[in-house]
Amino acid sequence: MDELTLKNNALMMSSIHSYDANHQAANLVNWQQEFDQLSQGHFIGAINELHFPHIHAFREDTSHSLRQQCRIEDGGLWLGFSANDKSCRINNEPTTFNQFLCRSGGQDFELLTPDNFSIYGLVLHPSFFAGLTEQTKEEVYDSSSDGLWLDNIAVDELHKFRQYLSLLLAPKGNHWSSSTHESILHDAILALLTRAQRTSFAHATSPQRQRIMARVQEYLTESRLKSPVTMSEICSAVHVSRRTLQYTFAQCYGISPKQYIQVIRLNQARRMLQSSEGVLTIADVAFNYGFFHLGQFCQSYKRLFGETPRQTLQYKNN
């Protein structure tokens, strides 16, 4: 991971590069995040960001498909939209690349992003709303809303945001001051939120699919994943048929429940290898996460992450 900070007319831009999904998750400050890599190969990620007193603007680029479990600070608001022509899922719901996604602070949400995905993000800190009049605050912000995206936003308006942020976050910098850019963003965001309506969670999601996935994730705790888990066991725990379970995973993640469990276990094993202090061996970590054949574990690990478990330990020690 390397970091470069550029200064231009008191505007500080940070460019952070990472070569691991876990490091990428940790690079966005004031977020509670955990990333699981889903597609195979060496991960490469980058974040270009600007921190204003009340707004955090960034572009995040990721090379591989990820399951991102996210949460921003209480009292804030996250707005996100695709920076290229690819779309993602939010809380298991499909979106388009021309939608403004949103989540209020203090609410957990999950993004499922494809290979070679880029996203612009705007995090409005609690101080952004503290400076508004009560009337304006009521018009633009409902902290109890469980909406997943903004409605009534014209495509050309999103395109203007995309163009502006591409210039604002360009590595070469720009010629305006920090206060000027924050004023432009502040006014544009208020106008956007005033015109928009957040699609209600109940309307936007498939209730049955959402309930099934919530029960599955509640059941598949880290401790339970350290032991063998059968399809029949999951079906019994979440009260669905095998066909329904297969269909739900195919709709939400594009993989089978068995593949999902293996990917999550491999990501947990990787985090353990990266955080261990040398007490556990590779065999210990593999066994702890339900892999009883070391050779098969190493093959699956290399296929997913593009490196062997031993190389992960070497990179950590270096």
Q: Within a 10 A sphere around the Cβ of 256, how many other Cβ atoms?
A: 14
Enumerate the H helices of the chain as residue ranges. Answer: 21-26, 126-130, 134-140, 155-168, 178-195, 201-204, 207-219, 231-238, 242-252, 257-275, 282-288, 294-305, 309-317
Give the least confident one: 1-15, 36-50, 164-178, 224-238.
Answer: 1-15
Q: CATH number of the domain at 207-317, please?
A: 1.10.10.60
Note the pLDDT of residue 278: 67
Confidence bin at 173 (pLDDT 50/70/90): low
Q: Determine the Cα–Cα distance for residues 76 and 253; give it in Å rounded to an integer.
A: 28
Confidence bin at 87 (pLDDT 50/70/90): very high
Q: What is the pLDDT of residues 103-119, one digit of tens each?
A: 999 999 999 999 999 99
What is residue 39's three-state secondary structure? coil
Question: Which residues are registered as beta bridge partners of 297?
Answer: none
Note the pLDDT of residue 123: 96
Q: What is the pLDDT of residues 138-171, one digit of tens each?
A: 767 666 677 788 887 888 888 888 999 998 998 7
Name the superfamily (CATH) of residues 2-204.
Jelly Rolls (2.60.120.10)
Domain segments of the chain as ranges: 2-204, 207-317
